[in-house]
Amino acid sequence: MKRATLLTPFLVMSLLFLSPVAVFSDGNIRLVDHSQLVDAWNASQIRFVVDWNSALQSHYPGMSGYFRIPNLAVMEEIPQVPDVPGVGMGWGDTYDGREDIIAAWQYAFGEDPDLTGGKIHFCVFAPCQISSISFGIEDTTGKFKSWAWTVGESGAVPCDAQACLLFSLDGGVGEGGATSFYEDSGFDIQTVLYLMFDANGQWEDTLDSDPFGFHQRVWTYWTNIYIEEATLIQPTTWGKIKSLF
């Protein structure tokens, strides 16, 4: 197992202190290579989510009491997904046995890009104790647009296998094969601050613990995260075209 970069709730303050200046980015987020993940990590752009929000409430109604702050790790690979760097998230404890528990992490842009016309791509490995995953975007006013997928043999996200999704951020119900969709009234895709990745699942002591070293039995692994922006074709004139010949 290759070395991981870890983030726990107890280390976040020191991490933020050591990285006071964020790396600003536009909508061209690309978290594919290990170096890109490490750069985002060191700039405190990869963070755990600490507060329940409207997107989580929409997908997991009435379950705020089952929300947990996770541990995070930037990995070069895991045994289940060899040679693929990603973000590992583990959460829960033995007292959560056989309860659905929820956790989330986010990517902070550092500014508020316009994601109109963009497409999000990400892959996720979800063990079979995971029942659903979701992805959301949050604007500068704290409003969300979010999609969720049931994890299982049928559908876009099978368990115990890496599933990759590519879909339009302009879309809504059913986009990317999503099983549920939510959008706050007044959400503004032109001023997005965060991407959010979350999941819920059950802790069972008989299951293997996470591959990140946290000894937690509810976990997910997120890889190949990037946004494809809309291609804009600029108008030209015949005179400009002639000058090329």
Give the pairing type, strands 218-228 and 30-31: antiparallel
Residues 141-184: tens digit of each pLDDT: 999 999 999 999 778 899 999 999 999 999 999 999 999 999 99
* CATH 2.60.120.260 assigned to 5-242: yes
Residues 171-227: tens digit of each pLDDT: 999 999 999 999 999 999 999 999 999 999 999 888 889 999 999 999 999 999 999
What is the per-residue pLDDT for 11?
44
pLDDT band for 229, please (50, 70, 90 cuts).
confident
Based on the number of CB atoms within 10 Å of its own CB, is 138 exposed (0-12), middle (13-18) or buried (19 or more)? buried
H-state helical runs in the chain? 12-18, 34-42, 54-59, 238-242
Cα–Cα dist 245/240, whole Å: 10
